[in-house]
Amino acid sequence: MFKPLSTAYLAELLRYLQIGQGLALFKESTILNSFKSTGISLPNPDPILNRFTYNQESGNSSLSGLSDYDWRKMDRLAKKLSHSVYYLSVQNELLRHEIDRIKQVLATKQKQTAELRKAAKLYKEKIQQEKHTAREAAKEAREKERAKKAAQRAAQKSARNAEKALQLSQKGKRKASQPSLQSRKRQKRVVDAADATEVLEGASAAPTISTRHGRNVNHPNRYR
């Protein structure tokens, strides 16, 4: 975000400095004319020598032709020019410090951005690690729950099997006890039959009772 702003600011600053120092006026034509007027290219000392060959009278007359107003005006212009040069030099120094400060700010921002990216990366890795740990813990909990339920089902199945085995054992015991009960019942019936036979024999041996008219009286079995 700061790179385009910094580039534009530096370009505008350089343009301002070039205009203030007259650098923007340097063109190919002016440079060639200056070389020609100074005798640098093509080498010719006459333009410079001609400036110093004027006669003393013309120089004195030209200087004496200036009035006090002109001298004061020239002095004011010289002071103004000096102030302008000083102002531009101060501004140049201030701008240089401002550029250094901006560079420091940009370096600090870049350092902070790098640190933030590093912290964000570490935070992301930590979150992923915590999610992985949570998934592993949930998986382990599910496995424990499944093992617990399997153990409960196995215990219930063992209990049902034990109960069935107990029921089968009791049923076998009842079946084993039934023949002895039936044999005891048969023995009782035999004894009862023998007793009944003895009673009948006793009844037949008892004297017969007759009525006054000569009929035999048969007593019921319960009175015998």
Three-state helix/strand/coil letters over 49-105: HHHHCCCHHHHHHHHHCCCHHHHHHHHHHHHHHHHHHHHHHHHHHHHHHHHHHHHHH
Lowest mean pLDDT among 28-32, 119-123, 160-164: 28-32
- DSSP secondary structure code for residue 211 in this structure: -
Across the range 116-137, mean pLDDT stands at 91
CB neighbour list of residue 72: distance below 8 Å, 6 or more residues apart:
none
Q: What is the pTM of this model?
A: 0.32
- The Cα 22–Cα 26 span in angstroms is 7
Mean pLDDT for the stretch of residues 111-121: 91
Residue 23 contacts by C-beta under 8 Å, 6 or more apart in sequence? 17
**More confident call, 100 vs 22:** 100
Task: Round the average pLDDT of the chain to a whole number and report it.
Answer: 75
Average pLDDT over residues 1-7: 65
* Torsion angle defined by CA atoms of residues 182, 183, 187 and 193, in that order, rounded to the nearest 10 degrees: 50
Has residue 87 got a pLDDT over 70? yes
Residue with the larger pLDDT of the pair 77 and 33: 77
pLDDT (average), residues 23-46: 64
User: Given a cut of 70, is residue 132 above it in pLDDT?
Assistant: yes
Q: What is the pLDDT of residue 130?
A: 92
**Predicted pLDDT of residue 126:** 92
| 106 Cβ contact partners less than 8 Å away, ≥ 6 residues apart | 2, 6
